[in-house]
């Protein structure tokens, strides 16, 4: 019922080791993973408070699309279809360079590779940037 689950902080690309305190399936708190080689038992203020966004009532837990000005909760398939249709429409009307892709420090190298591949090969633009430059 009570366990400490090791994980990696999802806030930035540093990748500090964290420990979630979990009681009956709910995260009570976050601790630094003391033996993690990256952060050696230290965290910044964001890492210390990871549990707050996991538990936040404002957290989006399912995909939503905006239809006629209102957000509707939909399945992933429907959301992806919706995004694909809109991207196609934008590219058809304004050309591929009207699309930009922002990759992330929080996903893996391989996923970032796929994302730039998607931008260049599927969309046809070199507008690729990364959140670490924001």
| Least gap, CB of 54 to other proteins (angstroms) | 16
- DSSP string covering 6-71: EEE-SSSTT--EEEEEEETTEEEEEEE-TT-TTTTT---HHHHTHHHHHH-TT---S-EEEETTEE
Looking at the DSSP bridge assignments, the partners of residue 130 are: 103
* Residue 4 in contact with other proteins, rule: CB under 8 A: yes
For residue 64, what are the contacts with CB-CB under 8 A and spacing of at least 6? Answer: 71, 72, 73, 74, 79
Count of positions on this chain that bind other proteins (CB under 8 A): 24
34 binds other proteins (CB under 8 A): yes
Extract the tokens encoding 85: 């249709």
The smaller minimum CB distance to other proteins, of residues 35 and 68, is found at: 35
Least distance between other proteins and beta carbon 14 (Å) = 11
- Terminal Cα-to-Cα distance of the chain (whole angstroms): 41
Is 13 an interacting residue with respect to other proteins (CB under 8 A)? no
- Helix (H) or strand (E) segment spanning residue 128: strand 128-130
Which range, of 21-29, 81-89, 91-99, 108-116, touches other proteins by CB under 8 A?
21-29
Give least dist CB 11 to other proteins, A.
12
- Binding of residue 48 to other proteins (CB under 8 A): yes
Q: Which of 32, 50, 103, 119 binds other proteins (CB under 8 A)?
A: 32
Written as six digits, the tokens of 112 are 């970032």
Binding stretches for other proteins (CB under 8 A): 1-4, 6, 17, 19, 21, 23-24, 28-29, 31-36, 41-45, 48
């Amino acid at each position: 019922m009570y366990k400490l689950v090791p994980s990696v902080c999802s806030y930035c690309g540093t990748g500090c080791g964290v420990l979630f305190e979990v009681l009956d399936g709910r995260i009570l708190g976050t601790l630094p993973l003391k033996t993690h080689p990256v952060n050696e038992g230290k965290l910044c203020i964001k890492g210390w408070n990871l549990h707050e966004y996991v538990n936040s009532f404002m957290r989006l837990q399912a995909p939503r699309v905006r239809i006629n000005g209102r957000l509707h909760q939909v399945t992933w398939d429907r959301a992806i279809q919706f995004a694909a249709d809109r991207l196609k429409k934008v590219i058809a009307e304004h050309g591929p360079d009207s699309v930009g892709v922002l990759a992330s420090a929080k996903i893996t190298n391989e996923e970032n590779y796929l994302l730039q591949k998607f931008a260049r090969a599927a969309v046809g633009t070199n507008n690729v940037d990364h959140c670490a430059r924001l």
